[in-house]
């Protein structure tokens, strides 16, 4: 497990942007964390890093799934309002999984079975109103390779939240 410290909202966005820059079709990122932890802010960073115009990116709490086209196809999903796997089936999520694109899923633990075996999982913890701890785990070759490409350093020097090559 890797722990990242974010000292302000901009740092969380920057962590996301760095991840988005190296995201590839077929990657799956799952986000967890309490209301207001920063999942959507992080996701907006990922989308920007993946070349998606930021104006297109909001929180898919009501739409459940928003698909963007940047450097790659990016499916941004929010499972907050779902309660069962049957709900999830009706959104077309499983059909999307068969196709192209990377997945970025907020509230990944809300629906059992939503996460594939190989997932880069990021849990955002609220440490103070302005700071967050990001706990990152991998669970297979794809997520390990993604974490490697992300190349975030656990204690960034200088500007917090900037990523530096390992
Ligand atoms: N270090 C930080 N990292 C992330 N967000 C921060 C930080 N400090 C303050 N914030 C604020 O916390 C809020 C995070 O909101 P955001 O919508 O991203 O959370 P969320 O996890 O998506 O919540 P929800 O589950 O309700 O959708 C923003 O208002 C942001 O400015
Ligand atoms: Mg959100």
pLDDT digits (tens, 9 = 90+) for 100-151: 999 999 999 999 999 999 999 999 999 999 999 999 999 999 999 999 999 8
pLDDT at 20: 98
pLDDT at 156: 47
Tokens 């204690």 sit at which residue? 155
Residue nearest to atom 3 of ligand 1 (CA): 9
CA distance linking residue 8 with residue 166, whole number of Å:
23
Mean pLDDT of the chain: 91
C-alpha 89 – ligand 2 centre gap (Å): 21
C-alpha 146 – ligand 2 centre gap (Å): 23
Q: Which ligand is nearest to the CA of 34?
A: 1
**For a pLDDT cut of 90, what percent of the chain falls above it?**
83
pLDDT at 60: 80
Query: Which of the two residues, 161 and 4, has the higher pLDDT score?
Result: 4
- Decide the pairing of beta strands 102-106 and 73-78: parallel
pLDDT at 157: 43
Q: What counts of helices (H) and strands (E) characterise the chain?
A: 5, 7
**What element of type H or E holds 165?**
none
pLDDT at 163 over 70: no
Residue nearest to atom 18 of ligand 1 (CA): 38
Query: Which of the two residues, 156 and 19, has the higher pLDDT score?
Result: 19
User: 37-41, 95-99, 123-127, 158-162: which has the minimum mean pLDDT?
Assistant: 158-162
In the chain, where the domains are located: 2-143
pLDDT at 57: 87
The CATH-assigned architecture of domain 2-143 is 3-Layer(aba) Sandwich (3.40)
Residue nearest to atom 14 of ligand 1 (CA): 38
pLDDT at 160: 45
* Residues at CB less than 6 angstroms from ligand 1: 6, 8-9, 11-12, 33, 35-41, 59, 130-132
CA distance linking residue 124 with residue 166, whole number of Å:
22
User: In this structure, are residues 126 and 144 in contact, taking their beta carbons and an 8 Å threshold?
Assistant: no
What tokens does 155 get? 């204690």
Closest ligand 1 atom, CA of 124? 21
Residue nearest to atom 24 of ligand 1 (CA): 35
Reported as a single tens digit per residue, the pLDDT across 34-64 is 999 999 999 999 999 999 998 888 888 778 9
User: 26-30, 53-57, 95-99: which has the minimum mean pLDDT?
Assistant: 53-57
C-alpha 166 – ligand 2 centre gap (Å): 30
pLDDT at 125: 98
Residue nearest to atom 26 of ligand 1 (CA): 35
For ligand 2, an ion, list residues with CB under 5 A. Answer: 39-40, 59
């Amino acid at each position: 497990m890797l722990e990242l410290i974010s000292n302000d909202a901009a740092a969380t966005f920057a962590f996301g942007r760095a991840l988005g820059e190296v995201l590839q079709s077929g990657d799956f990122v799952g986000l967890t964390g309490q209301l207001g932890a920063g999942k959507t802010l992080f996701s907006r960073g990922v989308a920007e890093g993946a070349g998606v115009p930021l104006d297109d990116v909001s929180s898919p709490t009501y739409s459940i799934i928003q698909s963007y086209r940047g450097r790659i196809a990016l499916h941004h999903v929010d499972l907050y309002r779902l309660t069962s796997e049957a709900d999830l089936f009706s959104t077309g999520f499983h059909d999307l999984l068969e196709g192209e694109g990377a997945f970025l899923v907020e509230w990944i633990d809300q629906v059992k079975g939503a996460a594939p075996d190989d997932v880069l999982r990021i849990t955002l913890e609220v440490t103070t109103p302005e700071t967050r701890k990001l706990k990152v785990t991998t669970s297979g070759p794809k997520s390990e390779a993604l974490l490697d490409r992300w190349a975030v350093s656990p204690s960034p020097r200088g500007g917090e939240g900037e990523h530096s090559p390992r």
